[in-house]
Structure 1
Amino acid sequence: MSSISRRRLLATGAGIAVAGAFGLPAILARPAHARVLIIGGGPGGVAAALAVKAKSHDADVLVVERDPTRLLRQNETDIITGRRDPADYHKLAAAGVEVSLDDIRSIDWQTRRAEALSGRSFAFDHVILAPGIAMRDEHIAGYDREAAERFPHGWTDRQGVAALAANIRAMANGGTVIIRIPPGRMRFPEGAYRRAGEIARYLEAEKPDAVVVILDHSQPGPREVAMLARLSARFGERIEYVSGELFGAMRSVETENRVLNGERMSLCGDVINFIPAQEAGRIARVSGLADDSGWCPVESETGASRLHQRAYLIGDSSAVAGNADLAAIDRRAQIIANAIA
């Protein structure tokens, strides 16, 4: 009987281990350590990865992020949330967390595999999703791609923030800036009121005859009501408030005339910051983790999805109030890590 070298044996064993992970019988496929796949490399995904690795040192943790700009180590200022620390990928590497640049397109819960845009497939025992949000179609007449570009929301993209800022700077003194707040749940609801204050401060210094109009289709909570009171006290007539009840449901948008038409009245602005209705990010919805509301129901005690037992959600997409600020994200990451351990 021919002998097998130790080097060949190791190579053969490695091949079996890899093949087993991709579909050989369970006796070969069973992983030595829990495989935790994290979809989304923003603050929520990174916090979850670090928490899981700290709690379960032997776990194989992989973060898949589709946006290469989020892999950069840099500080940035966000007009919505103020200063935010970026995802720190140096900490991920030091903790032994792998990072892959790709876009997860679907999740097969039966085979426990996630399929990526590149054609790669990632096996998992648990999935943590930090998919963020998407804009929901409200079926408003005239609100098309051109209108979205002319009236940038700047809620999820830096380009939109830059375009909005440029529009305000170019506006004549005496102009009107309209901030439309959407109905339903949204990412960081206080952000729209903070934005109104930031713009009002700029106008006060640079364009003292200009005004900000808040068109509010949301249902402000106590915190938002208090913020509105402070804005009114600070800026007086420089900020005007129009409730959704007074305006009525949004019926149409006139891009060229810069007009918003409601059931009961219309508003014309020189600059329009049109924030659409929102829902959980695409991967959460197509993977069956969102309910009819468009958001992802989770168990508050564990962060686990109520729709798939192997999934956990963190950040803006889960239907948990106060789940998206950085302190809450860190707390949620620890809760999820404890549940997986």
Structure 2
Amino acid sequence: MTFTRRTFLASAAASLAAPAVIGQARARVVVVGGGAGGASVAHRLVVAGAGAAEVTLIEPKAVYHTCFFSNLHLGGLRSLDSIAHGYDRLAALGVTLVRDSVTGIDRDSRSVRLAGGGSLGWDSLVLSPGIDFVEESVPGWSLAAADLMPHAYKAGAQTRLLREQVDAMRPGGVFCLIAPPNPYRCPPGPYERVSMVAHRLTEINPSARILLLDPKKNYSKQTLFEEGWQAHYPNMIERLGPDMGGDRIEVRPDRMEVVIDGEAEAVDVCNVIPAQVAGRLVAEAALTDETGWAPIDPSSMRSRFDPRIFVLGDASIAGDMPKSASAANSQAHVVAAAILADLAGATAPPARYANTCWSLIAPEDSVKVGGTYEPTPEKIASTDRFISQMGENRATRLATWQQSLGWYAAITEEMFG
């Protein structure tokens, strides 16, 4: 069933309010994806909902490694275990956990099919599946080559592999990072990653070189990163943008070569971060547009194509908001409020969104960018913005680092209970 903008609000009210009325049964809310968006929604629904809905979280991983702070493992500043979290506390709060993957969504019967067999029915469906990669967006690279040239953009085993490769580099070797085009998930941001790999190499391989190949002319916090690289890692990092062939590359994983504008260069480690789209489950349910991402109603994060379904986090087209964990967590609050209002037959409070993205350049030298946002008819629009300034003193950068530590503790407690 497809919904037009004309029928959107009327259909939403009718279809979402009905399950709470018929037989007075508890509504079934199914959440797909246990990251910053999905886990936060599940947690908030059971805590704030006071039993108003049966909340089921479908996530194939028993242990979730956060993408945010995963770059710090590459820099030798955190263990992989320190960014690993389980879902037992969520279960203790009343969330039903299903360790499985969703292979399909039937919007007519309101059910999801599971890889392990069977299906689950839903009255409201929340999709927060994150990203998938665009195969061959970097010519010569595919997921089959990820053991040779890791992406490390879904934290866990790939993060461990990339760290091992960095540590095993020959003295004076070359680490190459291929940055993605816009839009892309961040964290783990590619430029913080360059910073953290540079920090690690400064400690164990100071004559090594970092080659950053970037298809974008500019990137977020660029002047702050460049200032930090000059201060902490002088002469180690070389960035080639599109004017220098950064958008005309291919890779040869079996030879460990990068071809830049037709000229091959041998590298020791190559971290390929491909172009990205919404998790394919969303596209297969016909909830994406020609961009590969999911359009949403800015006031609620409901799908523009089906108001019974919410899409949040990296998979959504969230207007001026970036694809960050902080943004996904903020969107989760709006989604949970909308669902609980539907169940109560009430009007949800006005949506308000916020985001902060921290980036660590060197130990205790952290920068940030962020802002606040409100819905308009067209998009989630920025209403205020802040960013770290060049030349800040050590105390300011240390305070920013400490803020990021507090944020990590708070968001993971909200995600995992």
Shift of 1:268: 3.2
Q: Is 2:94 aligned against 1:78?
A: no
**Partner of residue 60, structure 1:** 54
Q: 1:147 to 1:337 in 2, by over 3 A?
A: closer
Cα distance change of structure 1 residues 66 and 247 upon mapping to structure 2, 3 Å threshold = same
Name the residue aligned to 2:359.
Answer: none
Give, in whole Å, the separation in 1 of the partners of 2:93 and 2:138: 47
Larger Rg: 1
The aligned counterpart of 1:337 is 336
Contact 2:172-2:209 within 8 A present in 1 as well: yes
Q: How far is the alpha carbon of 1:54 from its aligned partner?
A: 3.1
Query: Matched residues in 1 for 2:83 and 2:36: separation?
Result: 8
Partner of 1:174: 172
The answer to whether residue 30 in structure 2 is matched with residue 37 in structure 1 is yes
State which drifts further: 293-302 or 323-332: 323-332
Equivalent residues of 1:251, 1:261 under 8 A apart:
yes
Partner of 2:236: 238
Matched residues, number:
312
Structure 1 residues 251 and 109 mapped into 2: Cα distance closer, same or farther (>3 Å)? Answer: same
CA distance in 2, matches of 1:146, 1:111: 36
Among 42, 48, 61, which residue is 2:41 paired with? 48
Q: Which of the numbers 127, 130, 152 marks the counterpart of 1:129?
A: 127
Paired AA for residue 237 in structure 1: N
- Specify the alignment match of 1:184 in structure 2: 182
**Alignment pair present for 1:328 and 2:322:** no
C-alpha distance 97-234 of structure 1, shift in aligned 2 (>3 A): same
Q: Which SS does the other structure have where 1:236 is aligned? A: coil
Matches within 5 A, 1:10-21: none
Q: 2:289 aligns with which of 281, 288, 291?
A: 291
Deviation of 1:332 (Å) = 1.4
- Quote the offset at 1:226 in angstroms: 2.4
Partner AA of 2:257 in structure 1: V
Inter-partner Cα distance in structure 2 for 1:140 and 1:200: 23
Deviation at 1:247, TM superposition (A): 0.8
Aligned alpha-carbon RMSD (Å): 2.9
- Whole-Å separation in 2 of the counterparts to 1:209 and 1:140: 28
How much does 1:224 deviate?
A: 3.7
1:39–1:130 contact (8 Å) kept in structure 2: yes
Unaligned runs of 5+ in 1: 1-25
Structure 1 residue 114: deviation in Å?
A: 0.9
Aligned-pair CA distance for 1:86: 5.3
So what's the TM-score if we normalise by structure 1? Answer: 0.81
Q: Which amino acid aligns with 1:233?
A: A
1:235-274 map, 5 Å: 235-263=233-261, 266-274=264-272
Q: In structure 2, do the counterparts of structure 1 residues 168 and 190 end up closer, same or farther at CA, with 3 Å as the change threshold?
A: closer
Unaligned runs of 5+ in 2: 1-18, 341-417
Q: Residue 201 of structure 1 corresponds to which residue in structure 2? A: 199
**Range that drifts further, 37-46 or 104-113:** 37-46
Check 1:105–1:259 CA distance in 2 against 1; reply closer, same or farther (3 A cut).
same
Distance in 1, matches of 2:137 and 2:236, equals: 32
- 8 Å CA contact 1:46–1:88 kept in 2: the answer is no
The structural deviation recorded for 1:205 is 1.9
Counterpart in 1 of 2:5? none
Matches within 5 A, 1:136-147: 136-138=134-136, 140-144=138-142, 147=145
